[in-house]
Amino acid sequence: MAFQFNGSLETFQHDTVTHHTKDNSYWFYEKSKESFPGQAFGLEIVDILYHTKTEFQDILVFKSKTFGNVLVLNGIIQCTEKDEFAYQELITHIPIMSHPSPRKVLVIGGGDCGVIRELIKHVEDKSVESITMVEIDDMVIKLSTEFLPQMAKYHNHPKVKLTIDDGFKFLRETREKFDVIITDSSDPEGPAQEFFQINYFKLLSNALNENGIVIMQSSENIWLDIKYLKELLLKASNVFPNVEYCQCYMPSYTSGQLGLIIATMNKTVDLTRPLRRFDSCKETSLFKYYNHEVHHSSFILPTWARQYLG
Ligand code: SAM
């Protein structure tokens, strides 16, 4: 299905779009009075590719001058063609390479399908056997297929079982168990609210096989709201005895980085070191961001953040 935006950049009205008359340029600004007051991240817009409001969220896709096509949900950038691989690779390969045998994987959210693309590398390597993805809004998948084709290229791969549903509800009802669960959700404002609560960590732990590993984006990071981050880590630690925090460079996310929380019920495993690794030739051919050294270094925090987060 081809999606076409019936309008022009000049007449398009959206809270995130500002016209600068001085040089006749149009800019997208990500702002949040609650999460990051007094700062904004901006990208110059070349064209609006699509805009719609679904039952769940406001979806905007635009072509930027320097970051390629950009997917925005409720005013927050989800991914850009320029830097998406950093986040997609880390959230996927850190848990997969930390698990001895990650055969069954569940992805909650992930509508841009970038995590699926990364998981297929492990299907081809014969470690991952099945992938279930539970995304609440099929419009995100459709638009990603159209406008982010490199990310969404495996959305209908035969090893992927796609369910359009609320991830929280799915976890409450499922009897299946998984080796790795990746929560690739949007931020807590909107349909992903419940993912940032203790009950969600409980549901995750119930859906894990022995030695199972979960990972989720933490929404906040050490620069944006370290207090919130600490609270979220405490919620995770309420359920999981082994919890770690890592981060990656993400120029298109406000403050330039993204935080990830990884956890397991297995107290003895060191999640900060890969349990398995490819030789460097294969590593370089498969990944652009991840390698076994990046795996470990992503967990190393500056002194003040390490002390604050305990
Ligand atoms: N990389 C992104 C980030 O950190 O900002 C996340 C990208 S991904 C597109 C987020 C997806 O989570 C969206 O497609 C959204 O529809 C989905 N999502 C939000 N709430 C959900 C829920 N309750 N159940 C399943 N999927 C959900």
Tens of pLDDT, residue by residue, the chain (310 residues): 588 898 899 999 999 999 999 999 999 999 988 878 899 999 999 999 999 999 999 999 999 999 999 999 999 999 999 999 999 999 999 999 999 999 999 999 999 999 999 999 999 999 999 999 999 999 999 999 999 999 999 999 999 999 999 999 999 999 999 999 999 998 888 888 899 999 999 999 999 999 999 999 999 999 999 999 999 999 999 999 999 999 999 999 989 999 999 999 999 999 999 999 999 999 999 999 999 999 999 999 999 999 999 8
The reply to whether ligand 1 has any atom less than 6 angstroms from the CB of 114 is no
Q: What is the pTM of this model?
A: 0.97
Residue among 185, 199, 253 to mutate when testing ligand 1 (max atoms within 8 A of CB): 185
200 residue type, one letter: Y
Spatial strand order of the sheet with 242-249 comes to: 160-164, 130-135, 104-109, 178-184, 208-217, 257-264, 242-249
Please name each of the domains of the chain with its CATH number: 17-79 (2.30.140.10), 84-309 (3.40.50.150)
Q: How far is the CA of 234 from the centre of ligand 1 (A)?
A: 23
The reply to whether ligand 1 has any atom less than 6 angstroms from the CB of 259 is no
Q: How far is the CA of 4 from the centre of ligand 1 (A)?
A: 23
